[in-house]
């Protein structure tokens, strides 16, 4: 399952890059952007600005501080704090690195906000996937009921999708940027969790190995 998830996210991101490079996704982007921006209303614009802020680096810094406090003082996690910080820091540098590689210009159709930098992949989408993905992973076992876990997954899914949607609505990203960010974030999240669990298992085996008396 872990390998399958890694493969799906890697193939998904690779496919997006090829489609963008060959301009085979232009029509798809234009259709989605047109549909989403036709929904424009003052209330929806204010709502999307709010969700866009939630996906910004400034707000994620707040999440990091609150997350560390909860993980350390409430849940009494230790190594999980390192995983939490590692995932979020890695996510930040990964999407910045990828933007510098692809140099894709932002859409110039109907922008509701102005922002600089390159477009692919969406940093907001990448961060949304890693932030709410790692929070779901860490909080899952502390929720005793199945409906509580379902609510956790539902909340995380809504946040991830809405943050990505907001970037398209505001005119600063193509839909393919957002999809690329989701794939990149999911790949990094999967790799980080797999490495974390692997190390935990190795440490457990080492500390619980019983050697026969000689």
The 10s digit of each residue's pLDDT in 125-163 is 999 999 999 999 998 888 889 999 999 999 999 999 999
Task: For 59-103, write each residue's pLDDT tens digit.
Answer: 999 998 998 898 888 877 778 888 999 999 999 999 999 999 999
The residue among 170, 129, 126 whose CA lies nearest residue 33 is 170
pTM, 2 dp: 0.90
pLDDT at residue 209 tops 80: no
13 and 184 Cβ atoms separated by less than 8 Å: yes
Task: For 20-43, write each residue's pLDDT tens digit.
Answer: 988 889 999 999 999 999 999 999
Q: What is the pLDDT of residue 48?
A: 96
Does the N-terminal peptide bond of residue 121 adopt cis geometry, omega within 30 degrees of 0?
A: yes
C-beta neighbour count of 34 within 10 angstroms: 11
No. of helices (H) and no. of strands (E), the chain? 8, 0
């Amino acid at each position: 399952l872990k390998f399958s998830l890694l493969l799906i996210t890697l193939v998904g991101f690779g496919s997006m890059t090829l489609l963008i490079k060959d301009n085979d996704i232009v029509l798809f982007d234009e259709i989605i952007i047109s549909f989403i921006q036709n929904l424009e209303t003052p209330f929806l614009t204010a709502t999307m600005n709010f969700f866009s802020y939630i996906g910004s680096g400034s707000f994620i810094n707040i999440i990091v501080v609150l997350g560390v406090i909860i993980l350390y003082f409430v849940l009494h996690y230790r190594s999980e704090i390192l995983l939490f910080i590692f995932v979020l820091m890695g996510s930040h540098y990964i999407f910045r690195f990828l933007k510098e590689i692809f140099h894709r210009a932002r859409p110039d159709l109907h922008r509701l906000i102005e922002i600089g930098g390159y477009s692919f992949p969406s940093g907001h989408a990448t961060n949304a996937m890693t932030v709410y993905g790692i929070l779901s992973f860490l909080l899952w076992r502390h929720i005793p009921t199945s409906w509580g876990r379902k609510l956790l997954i539902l909340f995380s899914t809504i946040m991830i999708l809405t943050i990505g949607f907001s970037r398209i609505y505001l005119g600063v990203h193509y839909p393919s940027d957002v999809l690329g960010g989701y794939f990149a974030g999911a790949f990094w999240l999967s790799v980080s969790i797999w490495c974390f669990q692997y190390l935990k298992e190795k440490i457990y085996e080492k500390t619980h190995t019983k050697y026969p008396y000689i």
